[in-house]
Structures are given as structure tokens and as C-alpha cells.
Amino acid sequence: MTDHFSFDQRLGIHIPVLTKEWDLYSKETQEEILLRWERIRGSIPDRIIDLEQDINHKQAQLSDENDFTRSCQLNTEIAELASIINDLWLWYRANQTMSDKAHF
């Protein structure tokens, strides 16, 4: 089963890596992929909460920061965390497309 998923360091989750069209996988393999994806997908909101806490912490640091260079660095880090959150939401919604194709 691990053949169908790869850990994405940036996102902090495993993401599907499908090497062929969905309909070319056996129904059993589709079910296994969907089951594993549902477990991963279920962890995405918690991952997002953790990242939002990181953003809040960095924003608090930023509000007290007087060094321009450090302020720029914090802003960059906040923007990257926000980008990761956006990508995680996209992956969270991706399950709907896969499930629609499965028709169990």
C-alpha cells in the first residue's frame, strides 16, 4: 500500500501518488487507497490547527519585533505557513473527487 502514498515534508502528511488512471486500479486497491486516504485526510484539520498556532506565535513575535530584517523573516515564515495551510485544504477537498470516482 505504501506504493500509493509519499510523505510530503512541506505539508507534513502523506499524499497519494497514483501512477495510473483511477479506473485502472482494481476495486480492492481503490478501497485500500481510499481507506488510507480517509485516515490521512482526517488528520489534516489537526495539522492546520498546529500551523495556525505557529502563525499566531510568529504574529505575536512580529508585533514586538523592532529589527526590520527579523520582521521580514517572520513575515516570510508566516506567508509560507499560510501557503501550506492553503495546500492542505486543497488536499482535504481532493478526497471528494476520488470518492466520486469510486462508486462503491
Q: Does 95 have pLDDT greater than 70?
A: no
pLDDT at 100: 56
Helix, strand, coil abundance in the chain, percent, nearest 5: 75, 10, 15
List the domain range (segments joined by +) for residue 43: 2-102
The pTM is what?
A: 0.84
Distances (CA, A) of 50 to 3, 11, 60, 64, 66: 28, 12, 15, 22, 26
- Residues 27 and 49: their CA atoms lie apart, in Å, by 34
- At 69-78, the pLDDT tens digits run 999 999 999 9
Q: In the chain, how many domains are there?
A: 1
